[in-house]
Amino acid sequence: EEPDFDEESSVLGMFDEKSSMEDEILEDELEEDDLLLQNVTQRVLDATQLYLGEIGYSPLLTAEEEVYFARRALCGDQQSRRRMIESNLRLVVKIARRYGNRGLALLDLIEEGNLGLIRAVEKFDPERGFRFSTYATWWIRQTIERAIMNQSRTIRLPIHIVKELNVYLRTARELAHKLDHEPSAEEIAEQLDRPVDDVSRMLRLNERITSVDSPLGGDSEKALLDILSDDSENGPEDTTQNDDMKHSIVKWLFELNAKQREVLARRF
């Protein structure tokens, strides 16, 4: 299912007003990335670095080149279409990095963002007067956010539920910053003027299922299962306490006479 791209028409007007300033900022950011990408050698360190090294050789397009290639792409010229895509792959990386720690690996985010970039190339109208990067950003974000919604949960939720849940979570973050503590369901409900039961039910949907085989990350090769305690076994504190108790009981029994020890033995 595609994102709700009906929103496109409503945001294009805003693009016309903000495109110049955003393009200048974006160009500066991508030029900084150029310097970083040029330093990535062809050593096979990992798939991410290799990919960044490969796309670093695609030059950015000027405004005039964008119009030229976009017009030709709309007429079915595959070379121009490919040039538009390859020249904006670093834009996808820039946006994908902002969605880290959301349940998907960076390369997966980039892959989804590239699908949005391709869609943007197919839909871009160069006669509107704004830069392609401004237009493509919206499509890239939409596809990445949709992928996060669909793939980051073990139990997939309907998109309309996820969007509603995001409203609650966004409000919770704002209240946490304002109140300096994690807001309760009652506080969130009051802020949104919603029933507390509805808020509680929606927040429960945000609970994640974690696999015990999932790696801990970092330099550790252990999985979560390796560090979970076994409730059926006594911990070291319990074992030490039991040993001390047995030692004290044996010592106390030897202070009794034979008849007293026999009475206790028969009783217990």
Tokens of 61: 């397009």
Tell me what pLDDT residue 122 has.
92
> Does residue 142 share a domain with residue 75?
yes
Q: Domain holding 46: CATH number?
A: 1.20.120.1810
> Does residue 202 share a domain with residue 142?
no
Looking at the domain assignment, is residue 228 inside a domain?
Answer: no
> Does residue 133 share a domain with residue 25?
yes
Domain count, the chain: 2
> Does residue 164 share a domain with residue 129?
no
> Does residue 163 share a domain with residue 90?
no
228-257 tens-digit pLDDT: 666 666 667 777 888 888 888 888 888 888
Q: Domain holding 185: CATH number?
A: 1.10.10
> Does residue 28 share a domain with residue 49?
yes
Per DSSP, 223 falls in state B
> Does residue 120 share a domain with residue 188?
no
47-88 tens-digit pLDDT: 777 777 778 777 888 889 999 999 999 999 999 999 999 999
CB proximity list for 160: less than 8 A, separation 6 or greater: none
pTM: 0.49
Residue 174: domain span: 159-208
90-114 tens-digit pLDDT: 999 999 998 887 778 888 899 999 9
Looking at the domain assignment, is residue 118 inside a domain?
Answer: yes
The maximal CA–CA distance of the chain, rounded, in angstroms, is: 108
Could you write out the three-class secondary structure of 157-184?
CCHHHHHHHHHHHHHHHHHHHHHCCCCC
CB-facing half-sphere around the CA of 232: CA atoms within 13 A? 0
> Does residue 146 share a domain with residue 30?
yes
